[in-house]
Amino acid sequence: MVDRNRYRCALLAATLLLSAPALADPPAAAPIAAAGPDLQSVLQDGDVDLSEFALRNGEHLSPLRLHYSTLGTPQRDAAGKITNAVLLLHATTGTGKTFLVPTIAQHLFGPGQPLDPKLYYVILPDGIGFGGSTKPSDGLHGRFPHYGYRDQVEAQHAMLQAMGIDHLKLVAGISQGGMQAWLWAEQFPDAMDGVMPIACMPMQISGRNLMWRQIVADAVRSDPKWNGGEYDRADPPTAWTRSAALMFALMVSTPERLQTAGPDRAKTLAYENELSAQYRGRDAGDALYDYESSADYDPAPEVARIKAPMLAINFADDQVNPAQLPVARETIASLPSGHFVLLPGGWGHAGIYHAELWADQLGTFLGSLTSQDGSATPKSAAAGK
């Protein structure tokens, strides 16, 4: 069942990932009107309820609720099919409304900008385990089925089908969402005109990227109040949050920004406490499932299935996806219609929240795409820059 008017959001929800990663001038919760363009009039929220959803490991979610937000209005062709849908996929610990924080929205959704809601129907889903979608903290906790990135993509596809959308102009995502965009291109190669993964690599989570995630997962499981996932919601685990906060900061920021935040010992220790406090509102079970859901991610064996044009963007100062590793550039070069851009960055991995770095690239790429029926993509003022 789709209920697109069940929720109306007057304020942006501040997610943990939005407050932690930038480490200087972090995106904060703010009225939508303050995000740059006036989005309140074109923002809607809804749910798709699936009576049963089978995970790849054989477990089931019964039922599965998938929450989403949208900007804009669907446009239809003569056959009644929606022609202007764009899917944006959020990062680890985020929600679909991640894209509505000012540092993103003010560069994407204004008049004449790359994803002007007057031209595009933008869909912002909450993944399984996030936001308004079904998640461990809803009640199952440690008994919640273990989902992966491929399950996320299949659930997103099922959600779109329930919404009456069978083709997308663009699938784009940031960090975790970028990895899911790679999987979209493989699992549903005819479902989109273009794919744009931002700040990720087409390879298994391994090396340093796996090590820091394991540190966070181990911190959750070793928390004295974890109790195998059956913790007391009135007195939840919080000791894990310090390790998580510090590891996250080390990975997503840059040495320069961390030094600015902590220029001496006392200020560094105070800043550590500040970061830890930001994490204490995060549910331990939701976080653990989130971090471990990347275990099934590995697009490398099936990249030959990709048909749609792809633009992959990484940042030169990203510690999560270091530029020294050539896998993104080499994989993109093997695709029939792929292009790789390494941007200078300035924010490390947290550049995903600073769309001024990549909005022009998105607009140019989107403007270059041709629909399945051969028609050109509607061009905003930003397209072709």
Give the pLDDT confidence score for residue 376 in this predicted structure: 59
Helix (H) or strand (E) holding 87: strand 85-89
User: pTM for the complete prediction?
Assistant: 0.89
CA distance 111 to 121: 14
Phi, psi of 182 (to 5 degrees): -60, -45
Q: Please give the sequence-ordered ranges of beta strands (E in DSSP) within 112-256, or none if there are none.
A: 121-125, 168-174, 192-198
Q: List the beta bridge partners of residue 47.
A: 67
Give the pLDDT confidence score for residue 302 in this predicted structure: 97
- Assess whether the previous peptide bond of 236 is cis (omega < 30° from 0): no
CA distance 171 to 180: 9
Q: Which residues of the chain have pLDDT under 70?
A: 1-37, 372-385
Cα distances from 125 to residues 181, 197, 290, 318, 323, in angstroms, run 13, 16, 15, 25, 29
